[in-house]
Structure 1
Amino acid sequence: MDKQQLASTIWESANQMRSKIEASEYKDFILGFIFYKYLSDKELRFFKNQGLSQEDIEKINEDDEEYAEYVRKNLGYFISYENLYSTWLSKGGDFEIADVRDALSAFDRNIDSSYKKVFENIFKTLSSGLSKLGESAAKQTKAARSLLNLIKRIPMDGSQDYDVLGFVYEYLISMFAANAGKKAGEFYTPHEVSVLMSEIIAEELKDRDKIQIYDPTSGSGSLLINIGKAMRRYLDSDNKIDYYAQELKENTYNLTRMNLVMRDIKPANINVRNGDTLEDDWPFFEDDRKDSTYNLVKVDAVVSNPPYSQKWSPKNKEHDPRYKFYGVAPRGKADYAFLLHDLYHLKPDGIMTIVLPHGVLFRGNAEREIRKNLIEKNKIDTIIGLPANVFFGTSIPTIIMILKHNKENNDVLIIDASKGFEKSGKSNKLRDCDIRKITDTIRDRISIEKYSRVVTKDEIRKNEYNLNIPRYVDSSEPIEKYDLYATMFGGIPKSEIMELSDYWEELKGLDDEIFRTKDGEYFDLNIEELNHIIQGHKSSHEYIKKYKEAFNGFEENLKEDLIDGILDVEIAEEREKIVKNIFERLETIKLVDKYKAYQIFANNWNTIETDLEMILDEGFDIINLVDPNMVVKKKKEGDEEVPEVQEGWRGRILPFELVQENLLKDDVEEIRTIEARLAEITSEYGEILDSLEEDEKDADYVKEDNSSFVNAEVKKYMKEACDEIETDEIKILNGYLELSKKAEKEQYVNENNNIDWNLMEKGKSGTYTKTEINKRITQIQQTFSFEEDSLESKLQKVTFLIEEETALKSDLKIKREELHLKTKDLIENLDEDKSLGLLYKKWIAPLVKGLDELGKNVLINLEENIRAIYKKYAKTFVEIEEDLNDNQEEFISMSDKLTGNEKDLAGIKELQKLLEV
């Protein structure tokens, strides 16, 4: 399975396993064990690279001081064989929680002195919290064993595997954050916000050979990691980034270190400290030698998401070099204290991004003074208003502020990005297109109506340094206006038609075809013909033709790059190449939002990128791999682990559905025919059920909620009804059963030749057996034509439907299983051309189709806009009043027929008086 599937499977199991343990605490267990597995697996690879056999590895322990020291010097730590993660797994039922405690204790004494900052006490949170896994050692052992078995599948032994590991780790952190309530904001910045900040910084620093980045409230470390990932597109080799981080809470500080180490960042590039950023400024000293190691560190980028409006002590901070040129933040709100700390550690040509509550833009007193100084000293570059409810655990409005020391401009770019998001559960989430639009706006530093504006310093001064976004960017939706004349007399005002002027400029002459003038200012239209007019107009055809021509060769280019050159794709470069291509093609096309096109691309690229990563890392043959489809079942009481069972197979790269739709169409169509008939049967059940009388629905053959029939009871009722049927043919057949001699039976058949005896088979004696006769009688009874619309006639139909449905469901199950296995075999034996053809269908066809639909949607959107205007004035006020009067008269007439007690009737009379006024 791909990294997304793996991550979601592990999360689903972990969430079930945690039981009553808080998500914010349980994350420390699972993330701690993942990190320990990472270190163990890394050491095992080191041993094997040294040429050690399995037998040699099993002898390695602390007693071999020389070799242990050698390992420490190379890895920064040493783990004895008995304490390796793989050894724990191999113990099976002999594993005990004490093994974990002993191993974590041994780890701390086996850290190389030069790696102390990176590894010392990194497992303290895990070690001290093991007791929360259960009330007894046995329960703790059981819970730990379940965790070990859960995460053993995460690959950790190659460049691609590091990416998978990082993805799974980040995914788990985000899911724990989403389930941790208000505690979530303490350790996690949502991925999309983190990516946005990273892209802003990477764009600024892309021309540098080596950079230093710093997060003074690092949480999980995701902000730093995403900046590193974004910058690696521009740096010519790894380990050209120095990471600095500080975190107040010890368990979160450990999380930062683990996350950085697992991204295969060299320990020498990791500088992380557990401390209070505001009270104990850093980075510029060693903890144990403050005075002698003073060396102020300035970095290329600072990024942070500090706790919002935190209380702090501003006492004696006036002369702190971080604050003395700008002011000291008030006691109750440390937001500007964090901001000024970040700014202080920024190089003259550096950039910083910080997430803050919206209030920092307009609050007064000390904060106004700081804001004034920042503006006058030209430090604030950009303000981005984010959508509400983007961060876990809080719904307060937030912003990202970008600051620089040496700005080239003398103004402030203000962006209101609060409207760009999608719903994701209870939260709002930035889309790819939202992130791209923000970063493009910052790069180009442009004003966009209702979205962004470059504001001069003079204007900010006139507003007394109030930076509240609505003062500068009005992103509110226009108030719905109604034309009084059109409301009273009908027609569509010219002013509202002209609100669609962008369409009329591009689709010449279309407005004249749609609207008919009444008096030059008000217009009519034939709403029934609207779609036909728009879709059939010459200008519409020309527009669609122009749009298609803009994308001439696009599909071929994608095929050449992604399919024909599949093993040579540079993923990051290819992504930007395609985006640039799309944007260039849309430059001449009006009415299409290029960011909608970008979102279509991004949605498809996520799939392409995931597949490409696996193919480039594991080879072309991975396309033909089929894996067991493992499904997590609900954990039951007494289960040691969350049950995970195989339900069929799944293609590693090629989805079964894609293969079936393209290469097994006949089989798919056969299944769909059965499914369609089953749907018809369900509908027929409903029709029969609706036709029953109310007293008939009260019988046992209908469920209590009247939703469906009870099959067994329907059959029982019909058997009793059929047993009572006695036709002339049944009488003759029963007469036959009374005879015993063969000659009598033969004579009886000749005398009663008015029935078809050939519908039955004779026995060995040449006569009809009792079984055969009774079978025929049953057949006659079951197919008896009851009186039309009688209950028996209806339930007889139900009986036939039940039999047909049962047979179809059985057949459907068999055919689905056959198709599933047929698909598995087909994928595993595809030749290269067919494999690439299917990849084309998976990657390129949906993207091309989505972009093609975007052009067609222009005409659809125009029609929707016109219909909305038409609906406003479709009925005049006079017509509404007449309808109201007619309805009142009808109500008064009907209410005269109502009966009730004296009070009810008196109330009705009074209501009639009111309506007659």
Structure 2
Amino acid sequence: MNKQKLANRIWESANKMRSKIEANEYKDYILGFIFYKYLSDRELKFLKENGFTQEDIEALTEEDVEVMKYVRGRIGYFISYRNLFSTWIKMGKDFDVSNVTDALSAFNRLINPSHKKVFESIFNTLETGLSKLGDSAASRTKSISDLIYLIKDIPMDGKQDYDVLGFIYEYLISMFAANAGKKAGEFYTPHEVSLLMSEIVAHHLKDKTEISIYDPTSGSGSLLINIGRAVSKHIEGENNIKYYAQELKQNTYNLTRMNLVMRGILVDNIFTRNADTLEDDWPYFDEANPVETYDPLYVEAVVSNPPYSQHWDPKNKEADTRYARFGLAPKSKADYAFLLHDLYHLKRDGIMTIVLPHGVLFRGGEEGVIRKNLIECNHIDTIIGLPANIFFGTGIPTIIMVLKQKRDNTDVLIIDASKGFAKVGKNNMLRASDIKKVADTVAARADIDKFSKKVSRKKIRENAYNLNIPRYVDSSECAEKWDIYASMFGGIPKSEIDELNRFWKAFPGLREALFIEGEGPCVELFTDSLEQTLIDHHSVKNYISNFEGVFRDFDEYLKTELMTNMAEVKTSKEEGVLTDYIFSRVTPMPLVDQYKAYQVLHDEWTKIAIDLEIIQTEGFSAVNRVDPNMVSKTKDGKEVEVQEGWVGRVIPFDLVQQTLLLDEYRALEQKVSRLVEITAEYDEILESIDEEDKESSAINDSGDGFVAKEVGEVLKEIYTEVETPEIEALKAYAELTKKADKLTFISENNVVNWSNMEANQDDTYAKKAVNAYVLELQSVFEFPEDSFEAKIIQASRLMTEEKEVKAQVKAETAALQQKTKETIESLSEVQALELLEKKWIVPVVEQIGQLPHEVVDELTGKIKGLAEKYAVTYATIETEIKETAAALSDQIDELVGNEYDMKGLSELQKLLKGE
């Protein structure tokens, strides 16, 4: 199971297990236990790497002071064997809530003194919250046992970026945030916003060899971690980043510390404080020895997502060095207080990014003064307007402001990124292409129409230091305009054709081939087959051919990058390498959106990276592994996990079936398609039955389906009532008892085909045979095609076929699943590489190859839209109105009524005739 599937499974189970506990609270419990598991597993790994046998480990107690101090001194803490997470699992039914309380208490007591800042009281939230997991010790034991069994399979280490633990931790935080309402803002910055801030900071710091980063409202710590990951792509070596974090709320502060530690960051590089950022600032020092431990904090990067427009106390802070140069934020809105705090802690060549509400751009009063001072002192570098409804718990639009202590520019880059997002559930989400476009624009300080603009300080002064984005960047859609001449006389205005000039430049001669020039301001569409004319035009063919030429070796390049050097691919950096390759080829091509190409790559890379991480961690043999496909089902009122077939760990079952087991796959698909057809045929039959016949018991109450059991009963009645001369004769024969009468009847009634029955030795026919023949004749009787009886018979036959096909599908699906499993397990290296190529390379190449065709489709749509827009002239509409009015007036002449009715109709006629 890859990390995404494992994360999904844990989230779904945890969300059900929390019952009535608020998501915001429950996250602290499950994340706390995950962290405890991490610390336990980390200690076990350390012990085994340092020669401890299993017997030695099982003998570990805190009474063994020498070993305890050794372990504590090396990893910062000590957990005795009986308190290890793995021991809890081994205890089975003997596990009790007291094991947890004892372990957490012991942990706090056995922290190495030098690591207290990182570990002390880190489990306080979990300890105090255990009581909420049940009303009794037994119920709490049950809840905790369920939790620890849920997370027991999370691997806690890996190679490269196979960071399953970190991924799951981040995923759970995001999902709890999505369910925590307004409280989500206390601990979570959406991952995509965090990535955007990270890319901006990383570009600024890309030439550094060592850096320190600080988040004064750290929440879960994800912002710091993402910044660190982004910067580390440019820094050689490890452990060159120092992390500083401050957080006000105790439980959220614990999240920060856990998250940082679990990402494998050296404890010596983690500096955290649980304090009010605005009231209790750094410098950092040890309260027991403030003079010698005094360490003023200045860093290369500050990132923060502070609480928006929070109240604070500015009293007696005029001399505070953080605010003295710029002014004090108003009591009711601390936004600028946080911003100035962040700016103060920047080194001279540092950079900061902060998320704030739009109001900071234009509000007056004290905030206006601060904004003016920041602009005049040349600290504001960039303003990025984000989409609304992008943060959990609030729908207000927000901005990212980028500031620096020292800048070479005096302008401010303003970006309106509010239109670039995807709708995901109730929220908007920045796509990878949106993030890259903004980050690239910041790096290049580019002016892009309707997206970004560098604004001079002079211009800002003229606007009274108001930085409201729409004053400088108009990202609104152009209002649709209508040409009055074309509306009256028809044709397509040349002026609107001119607006497609970027297409005409890319496709020389195409405009002339599509339109007939007239004397007036309009043109006519030359062809009735627009799509075919476009596709066949030499400039379009050349355009597509040129694109294909540019990417002719793309598949080979990808194979070399991803497959030839599979074991050496650095997944954290490879996407950037592939992006540079694609951009270098797409950028010279007119009309193709390079960010659309990047989105294609990113969507596929997300899946490719997971596979690479698995292969690099487990070896190439991972391609031959299959895992049980576990699904949740309700059994006896409880949710239980059961196995439904198998899934490939790396190679998907459907890919194997469509490549190596194609005959069996197609045969099964045909049967599945037949089931779909049968459903459609049911619907056709039902639609053709009149409402009176739908009262039959064979049709359900809503009239949209057949009742299988009742169809059989109704069918019996239908057949019983069938009468033909042959059936009547047979029924009469069945009443006879004497042999002579039977023989006479047989000789006199040639309406019966007597040879269709087996005769007795005396040339008569048994009653049983006669009745069977009667039923046979009734069952083959052909009713009129449109009769209710014929439709019930048709439905019955479909039901019989459907039952047979379903049984075949079930059997063949099971057989194909088993054969696919065996095929994956026995794949040769050549076969596996071929399948990986189809999974990794082909989708990217095919989707990139579609980009020029999408350009042509876009132009086609625009021309069609213009043609339809002016297809009906005002004169045509006016004529239709007159003709309709005249027809209505003539119909009024035929109407009769009382005196007043006739007067009213007469007046209506006058209006219709324009009198």
2:883 is equivalent to residue 881 of structure 1: no
**Residue of structure 1 equivalent to 2:269:** 269
The one-letter amino acid paired with 2:776 is Q
Determine the C-alpha separation between the residues in 2 that align with 1:590 and 1:857.
13
What secondary structure sits across from 2:163 in the alignment? helix
**Residue of structure 1 equivalent to 2:799:** 802
State how 1:382-393 maps to structure 2 within 5 Å.
Answer: 382-393=382-393
Bigger mean CA deviation after superposition, 159-168 or 308-317: 159-168
The one-letter amino acid paired with 2:340 is L
**Residue of structure 1 equivalent to 2:342:** 342
State how 1:97-496 maps to structure 2 within 5 Å.
Answer: 97-159=97-159, 163-290=163-290, 293-496=293-496
Bigger mean CA deviation after superposition, 312-321 or 55-64: 55-64
Determine the C-alpha separation between the residues in 2 that align with 1:494 and 1:816.
60
Bigger mean CA deviation after superposition, 73-82 or 513-522: 513-522
Name the TM-score, length of structure 2 as normaliser.
Answer: 0.94
Q: 2:690 aligns with which of 687, 690, 693?
A: 693
Contact 1:162 1:263 in 2 (8 A): no
What secondary structure sits across from 2:591 in the alignment? coil
**Residue of structure 2 equivalent to 1:788:** 785
State how 1:531-610 maps to structure 2 within 5 Å.
Answer: 531-610=531-610
2:51 is equivalent to residue 54 of structure 1: no
Bigger mean CA deviation after superposition, 287-296 or 89-98: 287-296
**Residue of structure 2 equivalent to 1:710:** 707
Give the deviation of 1:546 after TM superposition: 1.1
The one-letter amino acid paired with 1:567 is A
Q: Return closer, same or farther for 1:910/1:383 CA change in 2, 3 Å cut-off.
A: farther
Give the deviation of 1:526 after TM superposition: 5.2
**Residue of structure 2 equivalent to 1:839:** 836
What secondary structure sits across from 1:881 in the alignment? helix
The one-letter amino acid paired with 1:842 is K
Q: Return closer, same or farther for 1:458/1:788 CA change in 2, 3 Å cut-off.
A: closer
Determine the C-alpha separation between the residues in 2 that align with 1:549 and 1:500.
26
Bigger mean CA deviation after superposition, 897-906 or 354-363: 897-906
The one-letter amino acid paired with 1:832 is E
Give the deviation of 1:886 after TM superposition: 4.5
Q: Provide Cα deviations, 1:490-524, integer angstroms capped at 9, x if missing partner.
A: 11111000000111111111111211223241112
Q: 2:818 aligns with which of 818, 821, 830?
A: 821
**Residue of structure 1 equivalent to 2:618:** 618
Contact 2:104 2:127 in 1 (8 A): yes
Q: Return closer, same or farther for 1:533/1:29 CA change in 2, 3 Å cut-off.
A: same
Q: Return closer, same or farther for 1:582/1:777 CA change in 2, 3 Å cut-off.
A: same
Contact 2:743 2:763 in 1 (8 A): no
State how 1:639-650 maps to structure 2 within 5 Å.
Answer: 639=638, 642-650=639-647
Name the TM-score, length of structure 1 as normaliser.
Answer: 0.94
Q: Return closer, same or farther for 1:72/1:773 CA change in 2, 3 Å cut-off.
A: farther
Q: Return closer, same or farther for 1:635/1:95 CA change in 2, 3 Å cut-off.
A: farther
Determine the C-alpha separation between the residues in 1 that align with 2:905 and 2:621.
81
Q: Provide Cα deviations, 1:640-660, integer angstroms capped at 9, x if missing partner.
A: xx4211111000011111111
Determine the C-alpha separation between the residues in 1 that align with 2:671 and 2:898.
58
Contact 1:16 1:635 in 2 (8 A): no
Determine the C-alpha separation between the residues in 2 that align with 1:490 and 1:159.
67
What secondary structure sits across from 1:633 in the alignment? strand
**Residue of structure 2 equivalent to 1:812:** 809
Determine the C-alpha separation between the residues in 1 that align with 2:498 and 2:744.
96
Determine the C-alpha separation between the residues in 1 that align with 2:894 and 2:497.
49
Bigger mean CA deviation after superposition, 57-66 or 26-35: 57-66
Determine the C-alpha separation between the residues in 1 that align with 2:126 and 2:291.
34
Determine the C-alpha separation between the residues in 1 that align with 2:81 and 2:894.
93
Determine the C-alpha separation between the residues in 1 that align with 2:14 and 2:501.
55
Contact 2:725 2:751 in 1 (8 A): no
The one-letter amino acid paired with 1:158 is G
Determine the C-alpha separation between the residues in 2 that align with 1:365 and 1:26.
42
What secondary structure sits across from 1:220 in the alignment? coil
Contact 1:760 1:772 in 2 (8 A): yes
2:660 is equivalent to residue 663 of structure 1: yes
Bigger mean CA deviation after superposition, 733-742 or 471-480: 733-742
Give the deviation of 1:398 after TM superposition: 0.8
Contact 2:77 2:110 in 1 (8 A): yes
The one-letter amino acid paired with 2:583 is F
Contact 2:185 2:392 in 1 (8 A): yes
Q: Return closer, same or farther for 1:183/1:854 CA change in 2, 3 Å cut-off.
A: same
Contact 1:41 1:157 in 2 (8 A): no
Q: Provide Cα deviations, 1:328-385, integer angstroms capped at 9, x if missing partner.
A: 1111111111111111111111111111111111111211111111111111111111
Determine the C-alpha separation between the residues in 1 that align with 2:612 and 2:744.
83
Structure 1: runs of 5 or more not aligned: none
CA RMSD of aligned residues (A): 2.9
Q: Provide Cα deviations, 1:812-867, integer angstroms capped at 9, x if missing partner.
A: 11111111111111111111111111111111111011011111111100010111
Q: Return closer, same or farther for 1:544/1:739 CA change in 2, 3 Å cut-off.
A: same
Give the deviation of 1:16 after TM superposition: 1.1
What secondary structure sits across from 2:827 in the alignment? coil
The one-letter amino acid paired with 1:602 is H
Q: Provide Cα deviations, 1:870-914, integer angstroms capped at 9, x if missing partner.
A: 222111122223334455566778899999999999999998887
Q: Return closer, same or farther for 1:765/1:711 CA change in 2, 3 Å cut-off.
A: farther
What secondary structure sits across from 1:694 in the alignment? coil
The one-letter amino acid paired with 2:782 is S
Q: Provide Cα deviations, 1:581-618, integer angstroms capped at 9, x if missing partner.
A: 11111232101111111111111111111111111111
Contact 1:160 1:614 in 2 (8 A): no
Contact 2:352 2:402 in 1 (8 A): yes
Determine the C-alpha separation between the residues in 2 that align with 1:905 and 1:143.
83
Determine the C-alpha separation between the residues in 2 that align with 1:369 and 1:316.
18
Q: Return closer, same or farther for 1:478/1:67 CA change in 2, 3 Å cut-off.
A: same
Determine the C-alpha separation between the residues in 2 that align with 1:894 and 1:170.
73
The one-letter amino acid paired with 1:411 is D
Contact 1:162 1:262 in 2 (8 A): no
Q: Provide Cα deviations, 1:780-807, integer angstroms capped at 9, x if missing partner.
A: 2222111332211221111111111111
Determine the C-alpha separation between the residues in 2 that align with 1:597 and 1:899.
70
Give the deviation of 1:768 after TM superposition: 8.2
Determine the C-alpha separation between the residues in 2 that align with 1:764 and 1:67.
104
Contact 1:414 1:455 in 2 (8 A): yes
2:858 is equivalent to residue 861 of structure 1: yes
The one-letter amino acid paired with 1:273 is R
Determine the C-alpha separation between the residues in 1 that align with 2:485 and 2:741.
98
Determine the C-alpha separation between the residues in 1 that align with 2:702 and 2:786.
23
Q: Return closer, same or farther for 1:360/1:114 CA change in 2, 3 Å cut-off.
A: same
The one-letter amino acid paired with 1:29 is Y
Structure 2: runs of 5 or more not aligned: none
Q: Provide Cα deviations, 1:727-782, integer angstroms capped at 9, x if missing partner.
A: 45545666786799999999999998886677678999999887666554433222
What secondary structure sits across from 1:614 in the alignment? helix
Q: Return closer, same or farther for 1:331/1:779 CA change in 2, 3 Å cut-off.
A: same
Contact 1:186 1:307 in 2 (8 A): yes
Contact 1:415 1:451 in 2 (8 A): yes
Determine the C-alpha separation between the residues in 1 that align with 2:248 and 2:784.
84
Give the deviation of 1:157 after TM superposition: 3.7
